[in-house]
Amino acid sequence: MSISSAMLAGVTGLTTNSSQLAAISDNIANANTVGYKRHSVDFSSLVNSSSKTSYSAGGVSGNARQYVTTQGTVQSSGSNTDLAISGDGFFVTTNKSTGITPSDPRYFTRAGSFTLDNQGYLRNSAGLYLQGWPADVLGNVQPDSSNLSALSPINILSVANTAQASNQAAIQANLDSDQAANALIASYDPLTNGTATYMATNGASGIKPDFSVSLPISDTKGGQRSVVVDFLKSSTPNQWYAEIRADPPSAVENDLTGLGYGLIASGTVAFNEDGSLDLTNTTLPNSFTLEASSTGVGVKWATALGVGNQDISLDLTGMSQFAAVSAVSSVATNGTAFGAMTGLDVDQNGWVTAVYGNGVTRRVAQIAVATFPNENGLISLDGNAYQVSTDSGRFTLKSPGSAGAGTLSAGSLEASTVDLSSEFTGLITTQRAYAASSKIITTADQMLQDLLDIKR
């Protein structure tokens, strides 16, 4: 009968408004939770079959809804390990740092309140470890859009107090085209063994370099070494003699006939008539090898150093010859000299970089961002994290800022999306709706009581 259906409708009102109260309570409690996304309950009517002469109440049902795609305000935090995503995507995390297998769960979160623990891992306030693609010794990564096994927890101490040998050097400099050739240039012969006729001897016979460029080189133990490139104007137009030598000479030992005094390689550097480098006629090697201290062939590091082999490329494409004073624009070498880590930087593309006290920087990893076809379909978990569901669809791993993924803001956190004024307003209306639903039940009960009293 209609009175019974009205009572049942009142019960559904109590149940649904209770759910709404629970959602509002969670929202208010998490108003200051980093990266929290508000929840609500969507109300929908229930309809029973009715006729023209009678109506049967159906009531109301509620469906929980989470607003995961809503972007919270990005606020500065003052800590460079705090991270916020501006745009789509989630941090990929795990609940353990080692022994991770493909079957272990991954957790996706927007809570970027990461700090370094005592083992060098980045963990957020829920104890979840941040994952990314680890960088190799050259600072490169191999991103994989679907393979979680390619990720690993980011550990800063994995590169702390380490060294990386140099294997690249580049010079940008100008050589003065008006430089006069040395009066003794005819006696210059870098391949004459045991004589004082090449620049590396500092010119006992009067032949000194017209210009020198020093290259800082890191050896395999992180030692800082110096390799110098000397230039001497030739009597041939647009041509310079060049020598590569160690400074001091004792840093290397030579077993090649014709080389001494720390000399590593020699040749010529040629220029075109417009002052640009003439690679075709340049004979100075574009790479040189410093053999390991333990070898006995060629130019090697001094035995006392006990360091390993290094192949170093030399890029001279930035050199020119104009009628201006010889000067260096820039010198660039890679490698990491030994030094203690003093800081950590994260850029908007997710690159995590260790900063050393000696001014050297080294990439540690690139943070991965996971996106989903339907982010609102993710399953909520404790710790402000989510898991994949059939409604969310499969994740895609992306570099921050690429293919629709959001960019990262270091030193910032994403605030909760809870608006307290809206929540308190909803709290009042929910309370009134609940009271009204209870009134339906008491009214229907009174009407049933009146029906029973007819018999008396």
Domain ranges within the chain, ordered by starting residue? 2-64+418-453, 74-157+359-414, 168-333
Comparing 259 with 92, the larger pLDDT belongs to 92
Element (H, E) at 340: none
**Which pLDDT score is estimated for 273?**
96
375 contacts 109 by C-beta, under 8 angstroms? no
Q: How far apart are CA 367 and CA 397, in angstroms?
A: 10
Whether residue 192 is predicted with pLDDT greater than 60 in this model: the reply is no
Over range 294-301, report the average pLDDT. 79
**Which pLDDT score is estimated for 321?**
97
380 forms beta bridges with 386
State the pLDDT confidence band at 204, using cuts at 50, 70 and 90.
Answer: very low
Whether residue 1 is predicted with pLDDT greater than 80 in this model: the reply is no
Comparing 261 with 439, the larger pLDDT belongs to 439
- Percentage of the residues of the chain whose pLDDT score is greater than 90: 55
**Which pLDDT score is estimated for 193?**
43
Over range 369-386, report the average pLDDT. 94
Lowest mean pLDDT among 187-201, 209-223, 233-247, 427-441: 187-201
State the pLDDT confidence band at 191, using cuts at 50, 70 and 90.
Answer: low
Over range 353-359, report the average pLDDT. 78
Q: Across the chain, what does the average pLDDT equal?
A: 87
What CATH code is assigned to 168-333?
2.60.98.20
Over range 23-34, report the average pLDDT. 93
Parallel, antiparallel, or unpaired: how do β-strands 299-301 and 252-254 relate?
antiparallel
Comparing 158 with 170, the larger pLDDT belongs to 170
What does the chain come to in residues?
A: 456
**Which pLDDT score is estimated for 365?**
93
Lowest mean pLDDT among 91-105, 247-261, 286-300: 247-261
Whether residue 328 is predicted with pLDDT greater than 80 in this model: the reply is yes
Q: What is the pTM of this model?
A: 0.66
- B/e letters for 333-370, b = 16+ CB within 10 Å, e = fewer, are bbbbbbbebeebebbeebbbbbebeeebebbbbbbbbb
Residues 6+ positions from 305 with CB-CB distance below 8 Å: 219, 221, 223, 251, 293
